[in-house]
Structure 1
Amino acid sequence: MSYTALRVTDGDSTTNDPGKKDAQENRSTFEDPAQIKEIKGLGWKDMRGTVAALVLPYISALFIAAAHFSLYQHLDGKRVDLDTSIPQSWLSSLALVLVTSFRVTICFALGVALTQALWQRIRAVPMSIADFDRMHYLRNDLLALAHKNTILLAPVIFTMAVLSWLVSIAIIFPPAAITITNRNFTVDTQQRVPTFDGVPPTDSTYMSAQDGVLYKNWAWHPGGTQPPVLAIAKSTLITGEIFPSNSPCGLNCTFETVFDGPLVNCNRSTYNRTIFAQWPRKEGQLRHIRPPIFTAAWANRSDPLLEDFAINENVPPGWILPRANISAPEKIFQSTCVAKEPSKFCVTPSRIDTFLIRQHKLPWNKTLKYIDPEARNLSLGLKYDTETSELACKPAMGKYTVRTTYSDGQRQLSISVVPSGTLESLWGTDKPKFKTEDYLDKIPANSTYAFQVLNLFALVDGLLSPLIGEYRTRFHVTTLKVPDYNGKKYPPKPITVQSDQRFIFEAAVNTIIADSTFNRARYKFQRADYNTQELVNKIVQDPSDLEHALDLELTEDKLNEALQNITLSVMYALDMWNATTYVRKTTNHNVFTFSSRPRLLIPYGISLLVTLPFLIIGFRSLRLNGMPAVDGGFIQPLVTTAISSRLRDIAVEGSHKPYNAPESLKTARIQYGYLEKHEMSGVRECTGFGLEGEVVSLRAQYITKIGNTSV
């Protein structure tokens, strides 16, 4: 096969504008087939390395993007350093390796495509040496990229170079698609937690069971509440707070315990009484009486039918359990025990099982009457009426359900109580035949209720014993005329009774009721100036101010609320009882969160989609070139510039200053093409760079053999 070389004359390009001139030459080159020299190109087998350089990096970039997405998808929701073998410290480095590999593969593929397109461009249209030289630095030099001739002469090549730069920016975003967040995890497990259990363990002996009894007793005779219980109860009544505790299950957990706990059942009654107060007769002396305004005490019920209560301060509260075999120490109580059967109770003076709270309303600032009951005995008295509100409470029991929640170590309690009976009904149901020699025997299964009653009774006593005592106030008579006793009897005369605020309360006898949470006025502040007439008049006119220090809220609900707090305080403080229950633990962990999938998918997706058309352009340029173009190296510039003597002559002018080439060298227009004859070597047909008009454009012709057919 023979080819005819056709030269492009200088007259074919007459414009001085490089862009227009190249465009005209480009049109003349591709529109007129007669001006194109066809050569036989290399086969696909010879160009497979370049094809692989175009395709494989792109496929690798696709797999890298998919691997990056899969990695983040796998880590999403995983606890750091627990649910995955990838440490948090490695993640940023691993993400950096992936995005850098993606950039390298994409830029490599774009670089190969750009080289093929650049050589196809120089084959098709002449270009100045300066512009052609600049094209080789587009991917590394922003100044070359910003030159005006770059986009005018080769917009496609310019776009490829810009894309290479943009890919480097786009890969900044994918690593930030995953973040480390804090999340709560819950797990249910069984664990031992604090509780209250008044029943001794099943394998306990009578002696070992006594170690955990809160109410001291001797041969089942009440002996009083243990001092630690009383101390805890007093503290709880004053502060209103439950004893602090450490979480048994971590900073955040929830569990529920159910146990039998104490209650009180109360009945309120109101009645009026007339009080006669007597004091010595003396002319001009300030007369005082000290009536009680609050009293509280354990009492016994002397007659169950009449419900007549009497206070007994000498015997501890509680019950005696009658038995068939009575030991010697119990005989002192036997004389008053009227029970005939072991299942019945002893009704004795020691049966102190009811707590009485009485509040008395007194006649403040009223004109009262004095009474001279017997003139000859020279005594005077003051008669007045009072209104008494009495609260009678008996110990009971209920089913406690305590839901405990620890949040960041702070405890929150939710308590509900369902009444289940009275302690009186439970006492005596186990009927133990207790003797001194039985201390080391194991407690029978049906003999544990007595211990339970003692423990529950101790908690009730812990609530009520600190309230035992009284508060009194003072009346003094400001106008009192003593009648002349001549053996005559005078009718009662009216007198005026006032109260001095400085003596509204005498020192309390034992009770801490004024300092407890039942007193709503315990933090109420009053000024200390009592000497002004204005304040005195106010006291006389408005006696309610005199009661500012004792504003009690005593109801069954308030008592049971305080009793619940005492029970839990004893439970936490003594730490004697535990139970196994289900605990829901909430642990706080750092987790990987694939928080922004678009931040990863968009940069990778756009880079891959935009790169694909340019790879197709590079593949097409490779096909048109007929052979792979190589970027860099020394052999290719050497052999492609050796065929033109005119080009060598121009190049010699800049040999002594390669970094400051003469303008004539920069503006010389060259083209890669076919040169008919090389005078020095004698080669008749060769390809390479030559000056404009010296070479003819080349078009590769591919021969594919299918059988005996050539295409």
Structure 2
Amino acid sequence: MSGIPPRNRMPSSTASTMDPMASSTESTFNTSPTVISGPSPKEPAFISSKWGIGWKTPAVMLASYVLAVGIAVGHLLFFQHIDGKEADGAHQIVSQSYVSTASNILANAFGYALRSALAIAFAQYLWRLFRVSALKVSTIEDLFLVRANPLLLLKGAVLRATPFLCSSVLLMWALQVAIGFPPGAITVVTRQKISYNITNIPSYNASFMGNGSGTDAETYALITLAPDTDTDAGFITGAFNEGKNGNLINRLARQVLISGEALPMTSPCGLNCSYMTVFEAPWFNCSNLSTTYAISSNLVPAASQIFISQWYSPSSSSMPLTHPGYNGTHTQALLNTSTLAIMSVNYTTDPILGPQLNSAVIRQDNLTCTPGRARYTINNTYENNVHSRKVVSAVPVDILTNLALRTHDNVVIVPGFNADHGTGYGTRPANWSAAALAYYRDNNMMAIFSSMASWLDGHFDAVLQGYGLPHVGNISTAPHWQDVVSTQYSGVSVSAGANGTIADSTRLNAIFGTFSASGVLTPQFSVSQEVLNDYMLNMTTSIMVAYGMWSTTANATISTPINVYSFSRPLMLLIPYFLSLALAVPFILMGALALVMNGVSAIDGGFMQTITTSTGSAVLDRAAAGGCLGGEESVPKELKDLKVRFGEFIGRQESGRIRRAGFGVETEVTALEKGALYGIARWI
């Protein structure tokens, strides 16, 4: 066995004399000679590096990037899935705290995965840079530390050395900020959940009479139905204008006329809901005739009846047996109105009295209305329990039937209406004919007509401003009626506004509440079929509320406020994620290219890579010895300013053509030769 040359052998006695402080105990361990054996035949002659990029580094880099893409897509799909779903309550899809936590985890996982891919690419490109250019040791140190300390990017040497890698580091640090935005892309908002429910709703049914007995028919009638005690053949209806100041329906009519609105209706289906209802209600069928005429100053000044209303109910004593439009079948009830409107006015100037009325053109509108029925379709909506309605359609059905009977004592013949024994109402279903049913229905309709129209019956007197009267000062440019006299009701003159017609306090008085320059009230009446029928509808819906005797069912659409997830800010997720992924592509591609060009993979921050690449240069070894303690403060300036690069040492070919690679100064190294054998000979 070949041994070490004799000069390498050291006898134990010699070793002992070299250390006089050694104890006798220590010398016993050196009694036998130190023998270094030669290489074993099984050991290879060389310790050499292998060329090849392997699969781990590119696989991890690609897998990290693909993972980041998957996380971004998954986060997007997750938000899209819960978008519009309930955020709390019994039907919540997932707790808000879980959504927040999951979003933060996904965002941080995305950042970690993408930074990992960029870090691997960074290492490959950095080592490519070491091979092609000589850099100061201090600059190399900064490039290794720049990902942990972004302030190093402010150094000019670092930026000049590699702007590309500095951009990569900026992207890595920008990711820390970018991943804070995606969790904010989802918010919790309040929306209305729509559900449907069959609900009992108030209604009006003039034909409804319970079980059809006399007792139920009287209960659901709006005016008294008195049993005929003479013949026991039916009932006698009460007068339509009786009990005007004490009857509920008449008091309702006055309230609706003055307020211009129906009684408030409480929601039958919750705070926010809507439903459609269909019912028949009173309806005026009107015709209008307008005439225009002039008045001049030579006429004797007199008050004009600028509003006249005459209501003829079926029981009115002044009602003629027939009137124009009556055909013997329909009702004779009638509402006639007449209003005066100023079309134009001319003044002359008196040298003493000033402006004086010369002439005026007046239009007279005559409206004739017959009571009838119409089928209303109404959409009722409640928002925070505030009711609003929209008339979808109002289709006239027919004029009311003739209620002025020609039977004995005006008896409506209904066998079984009276009690079987004694007096009073029957309790079993009576024998109602079609005519009697129509009478009962229209009798209830007429009660509503009469209650409304009777409050408008009468007239309102006024004079034209300035007509026939001395007037000093400026005259209003808008001519108007001046309320200076009285109203009349039933032929009895009373003071204005004290009693009688209340038309001046309703919407029929178009500018009620405005005043002339002289401070007096200036009424201006305007009556139309639309306004009258709107009053009738308000009255009918008020009866629904006040009486509460009729109901029906409707499919109510109920809106319930719920908290739901809203993917309302998708850009907060899309821009940070996919912009980051797009910006990372060139850095990863350059890292992959550097990996291929290097021929070997670079370890990111490994100790083995440091020691295997930094031994071999005598210049570097001497300069580094001054800072062997490792601290920043102990590193000598000579080492910091030393320019080195990674390459093949010149003239360091070992036996067997094996070469040595590592960091060295430019006079020590040259470019690596891809595929060459690099390492060290063991024993050749």
TM-score under structure 1 normalisation? 0.62
**Residue type of the alignment partner of 1:70:** L
**CA-CA distance at 1:133 after TM superposition:** 0.4
Question: Which residue number corresponds to residue 133 of structure 1?
Answer: 141
| Residues 460 and 486, structure 2, Cα contact 8 Å, conserved in 1 | no
1:66-465 alignment runs, 5 A limit: 66-76=73-83, 85-87=93-95, 90-171=98-179, 174-175=182-183, 190-200=198-208, 203=211, 205-219=213-227, 220-223=235-238, 224=242, 227-250=247-270, 253-264=273-284, 300=315, 307=322, 354=333, 395-406=371-382, 409-414=386-391, 416-424=394-402, 431-437=414-420, 439-443=426-430, 446=433, 448-465=437-454
**Residue type of the alignment partner of 1:59:** V
1:591-630 alignment runs, 5 A limit: 600-630=573-603
* Distance in 2 (alpha carbons) for counterparts of 1:154 and 1:573: 87
- What whole-Å deviation, never above 9, does each CA across 1:28-68 have from its counterpart, x for those lacking one? xxxxxxxxxx9652556xx4332332121011012112213
Question: Which residue number corresponds to residue 538 of structure 1?
Answer: none
Return the match for 1:648 from 610, 617, 621.
Answer: 621
**300-309 or 429-438, larger mean C-alpha shift:** 300-309
Question: Which residue number corresponds to residue 662 of structure 1?
Answer: 636
**Residue type of the alignment partner of 2:200:** R
**Residue type of the alignment partner of 1:666:** K
- What whole-Å deviation, never above 9, does each CA across 1:61-104 have from its counterpart, x for those lacking one? 12112213323443455565588724555545444333322221
* Distance in 2 (alpha carbons) for counterparts of 1:263 and 1:155: 86
**652-661 or 214-223, larger mean C-alpha shift:** 652-661
- Closer/same/farther in 2, CA of residues 463 and 103 from structure 1, 3 Å limit: same
- Closer/same/farther in 2, CA of residues 444 and 587 from structure 1, 3 Å limit: farther
* Distance in 2 (alpha carbons) for counterparts of 1:200 and 1:161: 84
| Residues 62 and 117, structure 2, Cα contact 8 Å, conserved in 1 | yes
Structure 2 unaligned segments of length 5 or more: list them. Answer: 1-46, 228-234, 291-304, 341-363, 406-410, 464-481, 488-492, 653-657, 678-684
* Distance in 2 (alpha carbons) for counterparts of 1:154 and 1:249: 72
**CA-CA distance at 1:105 after TM superposition:** 1.1
**CA-CA distance at 1:441 after TM superposition:** 0.6
**Residue type of the alignment partner of 1:404:** N
* Distance in 2 (alpha carbons) for counterparts of 1:603 and 1:668: 41
Alignment partner of 2:667: what SS? coil
* Distance in 2 (alpha carbons) for counterparts of 1:92 and 1:510: 71
* Distance in 2 (alpha carbons) for counterparts of 1:267 and 1:64: 75
**Residue type of the alignment partner of 2:225:** N
* Distance in 2 (alpha carbons) for counterparts of 1:85 and 1:421: 58
Return the match for 2:513 from 523, 527, 544.
Answer: 523
- Closer/same/farther in 2, CA of residues 587 and 426 from structure 1, 3 Å limit: farther
| Residues 215 and 457, structure 1, Cα contact 8 Å, conserved in 2 | no
**CA-CA distance at 1:196 after TM superposition:** 1.0
* Distance in 1 (alpha carbons) for counterparts of 2:674 and 2:261: 96
| Residues 370 and 399, structure 2, Cα contact 8 Å, conserved in 1 | no
Structure 1 unaligned segments of length 5 or more: list them. Answer: 1-37, 271-290, 310-343, 346-351, 362-387, 475-498, 530-544, 679-683, 704-711
1:632 aligns with 2:609: no
* Distance in 2 (alpha carbons) for counterparts of 1:577 and 1:469: 34
| Residues 626 and 700, structure 1, Cα contact 8 Å, conserved in 2 | yes
1:563 aligns with 2:536: yes
* Distance in 2 (alpha carbons) for counterparts of 1:693 and 1:391: 118
**CA-CA distance at 1:646 after TM superposition:** 4.0
| Residues 401 and 439, structure 2, Cα contact 8 Å, conserved in 1 | no
**CA-CA distance at 1:506 after TM superposition:** 2.3
**Residue type of the alignment partner of 1:41:** K
| Residues 84 and 566, structure 2, Cα contact 8 Å, conserved in 1 | yes
**CA-CA distance at 1:462 after TM superposition:** 1.6
- Closer/same/farther in 2, CA of residues 305 and 40 from structure 1, 3 Å limit: closer
**CA-CA distance at 1:458 after TM superposition:** 2.0
| Residues 379 and 390, structure 2, Cα contact 8 Å, conserved in 1 | yes
* Distance in 2 (alpha carbons) for counterparts of 1:74 and 1:242: 47
Return the match for 2:554 from 576, 581, 587.
Answer: 581
* Distance in 1 (alpha carbons) for counterparts of 2:339 and 2:164: 105
- Closer/same/farther in 2, CA of residues 155 and 455 from structure 1, 3 Å limit: same
Return the match for 1:698 from 665, 672, 676.
Answer: 672
**Residue type of the alignment partner of 2:380:** T
- Closer/same/farther in 2, CA of residues 625 and 256 from structure 1, 3 Å limit: closer
| Residues 256 and 403, structure 1, Cα contact 8 Å, conserved in 2 | yes
**CA-CA distance at 1:155 after TM superposition:** 4.0
| Residues 202 and 445, structure 1, Cα contact 8 Å, conserved in 2 | no
* Distance in 2 (alpha carbons) for counterparts of 1:267 and 1:686: 116
**514-523 or 136-145, larger mean C-alpha shift:** 514-523
**CA-CA distance at 1:439 after TM superposition:** 2.0
- Closer/same/farther in 2, CA of residues 646 and 266 from structure 1, 3 Å limit: closer
| Residues 400 and 442, structure 2, Cα contact 8 Å, conserved in 1 | no
Question: Which residue number corresponds to residue 502 of structure 2?
Answer: 512
- Closer/same/farther in 2, CA of residues 99 and 266 from structure 1, 3 Å limit: closer
Identity of aligned residues (%): 26
* Distance in 1 (alpha carbons) for counterparts of 2:664 and 2:366: 124
- Closer/same/farther in 2, CA of residues 644 and 444 from structure 1, 3 Å limit: farther
* Distance in 1 (alpha carbons) for counterparts of 2:404 and 2:483: 50
1:55 aligns with 2:62: yes
TM-score under structure 2 normalisation? 0.64
